[in-house]
Structure 1
Amino acid sequence: MDDKTPDTLVPTPLAGTVAIVGFPNVGKSTLINRLTQSRAAVVHETPGVTRDRKELLCEWSGTWFRLIDTGGVDRADVGPYGGAIADQARAAVRSADLVLFVVDAKAGFGPGDEELAELLRQEHTRVVVIANKLDDPRRDAEALDLHRLGLGDPFPLSALHGHGTGDLLDLIVSLLPGRAEPVPGDEAIRVAILGRPNVGKSSLLNALLGEERTIVSDVPGTTRDAIDTVLERDGKTFVLVDTAGLRRKRAQRQGIEYYSELRALAAAERADVALVLVDSSQGIVDQDLQVADVARRAQCSTLVVLSKWDATETDLVEAKGQLNRRLRQRPPVIAVSAHTGRGLERLLEHVEELFHKHTTRISTPALNKGLDVLKEARPGPQGPRGRRLKLLYATQTGTRPPRFRVFVNDPALMTRDYGYWVENDLRARFGLEGVPVSIDFQES
């Protein structure tokens, strides 16, 4: 696997923050995907698919700004998330320099639109009404009815087909204050938060941030998107990705759940460190091990986090021993409580240590000295004709994570068990516990 490169570096400070609000199913996620030219938000016909506030970076004509996508604001929603989503949207509006109020112009003026417009007026934030779903430019006049909201001229748009998005971006850039903010770059530590549903991923993220950025609920599967959030701590920049819960069996994935799982896997693949959360009140189950294997296959360095430690009597030493016996990378294990704050500072220290290992380079002399000791401890396997595998010399070929090339006399003599043994010996010898070690055995 190639080096994991950070997101494209942003050459200028951010010009400001834009929040997108509106009722469910008016096209907010489609619009944000169009503006960012990505599939960062889950798009589906079911109302209320986007439930959490997400922050993304957007660029237009050399100007960068932060885009906040909120859950659909629907006070009539009888589901378990309606009120929390409205609070999320309100918080996003208060932190924004500009608000895009998205309305389904095809469906027409709705009874709740005036109430939301009044809420936006109370926040005293500049608002642009987006008359979305005008797929035919000849129907732009239909947007005029939205003048009744009292928020100025509505902006006709088709997020689905892209009609008007360039003009909208021009308008956004012209209305932003140009406020300078630091943007995460090459030095940022990218951290994916992984776990089966309802193990406390969002609670952990909120505890680290000190604010309720994602919706926390007792209902499994509350977080359905991967959400990037920047955390500055003691001069270090962490980009935290809170991902959708990973379910055990493919048969359990349906509709939006399936697409969110794909995004969780993609988030892990662009992270340096994965926090694999295990609900300590329920113990370690096979599903936790499968989540850890997702992190390994994504080439993330791994830290196992025993969450909800305040609600369990589990023995930490016993839990660590069980995980070390069952996980190939021998990851470090830490117990935390998002409720009490126990272990959170140490968690970030562990992340920094893992990132250092993830990006480490071992000198060729030190690597080959270790290889010599390894060869003496356990000679290579013998082939059917009596020829024995010989490890000749090694070199490191990359980082993020560390990759090595070991030259041998005949790669065909390599066995899976011996390859694992070499990998584990190098991991232990150079302190790479929790780090995926990739070795390419090549003929000299």
Structure 2
Amino acid sequence: MSKPIVAIVGRPNVGKSTLFNVLAGEKISIVEDTPGVTRDRIYADVTWLKYDFTIIDTGGIEPESDDEILKHMRTQAQIAIDTADVILFVVDVKQGLVDDDHKVANMLRKARKPVILVVNKVDNFDKLEMDVFEFYNLGLGEPRPVSSASKLGLGDMLDVVVENFPPNMKDEEDDEIPKIAIIGKPNVGKSSLINKILGEERVIVSNIAGTTRDAVDTLVKYNKKDFVFIDTAGLRRKSKIKETLERYSIIRTVAAIERADVAILIIDAEEGITEQDAKIAGIAHERGKGAIIAVNKWDAIEKNDKTMNRFIENIEDKLTYMLYAPKIFISAHTGQRLNRLFEMIEMVIQNQALRVATGPLNDILYEAMALNQPPSDKGKRLKIYYMTQVSIKPPTFVIFVNDKELMHFSYTRYIENKVRESFGFKGTPIHFIVRERKEK
């Protein structure tokens, strides 16, 4: 099921990032070795009541600017607005209503999305009540007073946010058709791959109307099985002025990955694996999606018997946290190994939904502990009582221990490796939740 997306927009310096950081709270947890997941995160997951959603911070919109950077920011904010299900429009009570707020409001009206008008920096409602009411003039309904810095009014605001989610997202039943996102940098052959798949004799294609998001969905029938392919039209590459803004184009990829079951990361064989590839892979990994790494344009490479192994080593060096992802060498141009790609997709989908019974799981756990004793600290040793699988997509396990602090990242990784040795889980990340249980 895909999470709703909430975009935070507004002029520069109205406190959007402060609001973003408060909502993201401590949620911006960085897996120790996931690259490219930096502090300048522009998206984060938020849970409110029983809803999970993703928030995106869009940088300031300057409606009338000729400055290249600001122009580009406006484009990126527009992507976020098109991608979002709900928009938080932030204004500043201290600066009052300014002309540019009206211009942003007009831009938002065209989007025909639910817009929630958030008046920030209201640290005393009684004193600033009249100043808040002034924002009724924007014609966007009731202004919601908050103070991001003092964390006031956020609950009421979030109540309104979740009320505005599209009805099918509130309790959307997972439809059975697997969704496959084709992700990667620009010009690596994402669209060519999709076109090649669509051009196969064995494929029956129908376009899906009414997909609101910024990606193109195509229903594909291959060997009597249905798949939905999501084409993300790629992340833009940095150029001189776009340094600070490149991150916004990640929004499309995040939205597509969010909706997918499996992400196929396309890497250009001629270029090798780059920093940006690693960044995009990190998003799929972090979001717990199945992953396949497809090296495209393989037909264009001079090869000997060592070329492929060297390429695989290089990928694994850069994506150490993603060793579970199977790799395949393809050519979107010639259609080389397309049938193998579909076999891989099916395998990953099955592994994402694999459930392991508690008995065999704990046999593996106790064997692992016998081979490699749990760590201890200051004379206190970690005790692991048992573990059990609590969910799928991605497979998620709860491990019960005497003291959470003693469960080091490296020991969790060790147990993960043992679980993978026994049950496979190829192509899917697996998550562990460590819970403390007081000794009886």
Q: TM-score range by the shorter chain?
A: 0.5 to 0.7
How far residue 249 of structure 1 moved from its aligned partner, in angstroms, is 6.8
The amino acid that maps onto 2:382 is L
| 2:310 aligned partner | 318
| 1:372 aligned partner | 366
> Are the aligned partners of 2:185 and 2:234 in contact in 1 as well (CA < 8 Å)?
yes
The amino acid that maps onto 2:371 is A
**CA separation in 1, counterparts of 2:413 and 2:236?**
28
**Is residue 243 from structure 1 mapped to residue 232 from structure 2 by the alignment?**
yes
Among 173, 182, 197, the alignment partner of 2:186 is 197
2:381 alignment partner, SS class: coil
> Are the aligned partners of 2:182 and 2:230 in contact in 1 as well (CA < 8 Å)?
yes
**Is residue 353 from structure 1 mapped to residue 347 from structure 2 by the alignment?**
yes
> Are the aligned partners of 2:290 and 2:352 in contact in 1 as well (CA < 8 Å)?
yes
How far residue 352 of structure 1 moved from its aligned partner, in angstroms, is 0.5
2:349 alignment partner, SS class: helix
* TM-score, length-scaled by structure 1: 0.54
The amino acid that maps onto 1:252 is K
How far residue 392 of structure 1 moved from its aligned partner, in angstroms, is 1.4
> Are the aligned partners of 1:329 and 1:433 in contact in 2 as well (CA < 8 Å)?
no
How far residue 357 of structure 1 moved from its aligned partner, in angstroms, is 0.2
| 2:151 aligned partner | none
**CA separation in 1, counterparts of 2:111 and 2:237?**
33
How far residue 395 of structure 1 moved from its aligned partner, in angstroms, is 0.5
Number of residue equivalences: 268
| 2:404 aligned partner | 411
| 1:426 aligned partner | 419
2:377 alignment partner, SS class: coil
1:373 alignment partner, SS class: helix
| 1:252 aligned partner | 242
How far residue 259 of structure 1 moved from its aligned partner, in angstroms, is 5.1
Q: Deviations over 1:117-141 (max 9, x none)?
A: xxxxxxxxxxxxxxxxxx9xxxxxx
**Is residue 335 from structure 1 mapped to residue 329 from structure 2 by the alignment?**
yes
**CA separation in 2, counterparts of 1:375 and 1:294?**
32
* TM-score, length-scaled by structure 2: 0.55
**CA separation in 1, counterparts of 2:283 and 2:296?**
19
**CA separation in 1, counterparts of 2:186 and 2:313?**
24
1:434 alignment partner, SS class: coil
> Are the aligned partners of 1:305 and 1:335 in contact in 2 as well (CA < 8 Å)?
yes
| 1:300 aligned partner | 289
> Are the aligned partners of 1:268 and 1:274 in contact in 2 as well (CA < 8 Å)?
yes
| 2:127 aligned partner | none
| 2:432 aligned partner | 439
How far residue 258 of structure 1 moved from its aligned partner, in angstroms, is 5.7
Given the superposition, is the C-alpha separation of residues 290 and 440 from structure 1 closer, same or farther in structure 2, using an over 3 Å criterion?
same
Given the superposition, is the C-alpha separation of residues 289 and 393 from structure 1 closer, same or farther in structure 2, using an over 3 Å criterion?
same
Equivalent residue runs for 1:155-166 within 5 Å? none
**CA separation in 1, counterparts of 2:111 and 2:174?**
31
Q: Deviations over 1:17-74 (max 9, x none)?
A: xxxxxxxxxxxxxxxxxxxxxxxxxxx999xx9xxxxxxxxxxxxxxxxxxxxxxxxx
How far residue 284 of structure 1 moved from its aligned partner, in angstroms, is 1.9
| 2:80 aligned partner | none
Larger helix share, 1 or 2 = 2
How far residue 243 of structure 1 moved from its aligned partner, in angstroms, is 1.1
> Are the aligned partners of 1:360 and 1:399 in contact in 2 as well (CA < 8 Å)?
yes
